[in-house]
Structure 1
């Protein structure tokens, strides 16, 4: 293992790795401890070696060569559960990642139901890796990192090349290489999406739907306070105060926070006056009225389904479960539930669901199961 923490070292490493056909990539972030979070390590493996890139002391220009490597379509990047790593690389440096092989997705298409890295390594290679629970939520910002933390970081990349080769062998035997290839191409389009600001996010807080309009106005101000305090203290908002505490304060009728049950003593001592001011701002603000978008659900389907449509969806789920059992696959891989729900409402939409403009149904799904699904719809 070699640590790379300067621009020249990173540039030289990228030049070397650019000649590889395949590299292994992993990242470590500090989202459990800092706010906003940052990428603290990038681990790369190739040819039986591992490098740990420490970007905290590097500028965006220093790290730019790594972005070129990630975007190089001639170098395959083996990543486990790649969507998260792709998002954080996009968030941190606007990197694009091309030519991805996701060992988690590949494992699913090999019929594995437990796809955590430790489970897949054990099932596919008979390799056992021991993960320290204390290090799973380590603060990767701390420097210097202890040797056990560095070893933890590289453990994930040491076996991924061999795992990739074994999964490729199994996929070829099963005739599913084209299936996963399409899934991997879709990964290249994954982008970081910033969370809603606190002025909007409060509407999704657990328990917020039980609050009245004025109470929601209070909750909004409490959310804004918590967010700003998190930025000030470089601490995740959930560690400042939980959603449960905030909704409890918003719903309380008492003006004295010390009389409200459910507020821990330490936060009350630290934040009591500022929480009170936030509450007062909310009480003085106009009530918050939730927007109503009719009765449509996440698929844009209006109203409640009829009995016939409900029965059709049940039969389509049965069809999907049977195909999954035949192939030894999670039924969710066979056909997207969003599409089945729309087809249960209107079977005539099948051509639209599998057409060129389809965004949910994959080409391989339409090719492999479209005819079978058409038959299932025709019998309902």
Structure 2
């Protein structure tokens, strides 16, 4: 990560006077992959200007504010703010479950990659950043303890890297979607993400209600 990238850690909520613009890259870190069991620990955000804002979410039992994050909730639920994510299906579900709000106006670089990067089955963020942007992302902290009361510098750098390059990555992928006449199809997928997340939270990931199984 470039030395010019700044990382700001916030306890419990975003500052009230912070303006991240109309397109905000967002990612989450949790204790695991089950939103009902594994709590949200960190929300990362970037306006694409080389700065990352990390909001540490700590439960009240550990001295934190829990889901009492009015500024963050206002941003993620604002339909006029585009939320840019990678694998948005999971992040939207976690955010909706934790904060009890809908998360509209979402773009997902993983869905975009799956629609136009059909010559490979590799659609992870690290691979796409390396292939499209020439940026190497370290994934060493991916499985670390995000519920720790104090995050290490390595954890903070890893978390920031998941949002710092999403604007540039989306620009590349959107151009490919337009070139291949799939931008409208992608938007239809994005418009469904909030409902898809609600289905997942209700347990309709398996069985999948869209499958033909009897």
TM-score category of the 2 structures, normalised to the smaller one:
0.7 to 0.9
Higher strand proportion, which one? Answer: 2
2:123 paired residue number: 115
One of 125, 139, 144 as aligned partner of 2:150: 144
2:201 paired residue number: 193
8 Å CA contact 1:39, 1:92 repeated in 2: yes
Is 1:99–2:105 an aligned residue pair?
yes
Q: Deviations along 1:179-219, whole A, 9 cap, x unmatched? A: 101011011222152569xxxxxxxxxxxxxxxxxxxxxxx
Q: Deviations along 1:324-373, whole A, 9 cap, x unmatched? A: xxxxxxxxxxxxxxxxxxxxxxxxxxxxxxxxxxxxxxxxxxxxxxxxxx
1:27 paired residue number: 28
8 Å CA contact 1:99, 1:188 repeated in 2: no
State the superposition RMSD in angstroms. Answer: 2.5
Q: Deviations along 1:257-298, whole A, 9 cap, x unmatched? A: xxxxxxxxxxxxxxxxxxxxxxxxxxxxxxxxxxxxxxxxx6
TM-score, normalisation: structure 2 = 0.81
Measured after TM superposition, the shift of residue 300 of structure 1 is 5.3
- CA 1:164–1:31 in structure 2 vs 1: closer, same or farther (change >3 Å)? same
Greater relative contact order structure (CA < 8 Å, 6+ sep): 2
The structure with the largest alpha-carbon Rg is 1
Q: Deviations along 1:37-69, whole A, 9 cap, x unmatched? A: 2100000011221100012122433x1331221
1:70 paired residue number: 76
Q: Distance in 1 between matches of 2:89 and 2:184?
A: 19
2:188 paired residue number: 182
Instruction: Give the aligned length.
Output: 193
- Structure 2 alignment gaps of length 5 or more: 1-6, 59-63, 205-210
Is 1:157–2:158 an aligned residue pair?
no
Q: Distance in 1 between matches of 2:201 and 2:132?
A: 33
Measured after TM superposition, the shift of residue 131 of structure 1 is 1.3
TM-score, normalisation: structure 1 = 0.47
Is 1:43–2:44 an aligned residue pair?
yes
Higher helix proportion, which one? Answer: 1
- CA 1:94–1:6 in structure 2 vs 1: closer, same or farther (change >3 Å)? closer
One of 54, 57, 68 as aligned partner of 1:55: 57
Task: Classify the secondary structure of the residue corresponding to 1:136.
Answer: coil
Measured after TM superposition, the shift of residue 119 of structure 1 is 1.3
Shift >4 Å, 4+ stretches: none
8 Å CA contact 1:10, 1:53 repeated in 2: no
Measured after TM superposition, the shift of residue 122 of structure 1 is 1.8
8 Å CA contact 2:12, 2:66 repeated in 1: no
1:10 paired residue number: 15
Measured after TM superposition, the shift of residue 173 of structure 1 is 1.4
Q: Distance in 2 between matches of 1:93 and 1:37?
A: 14
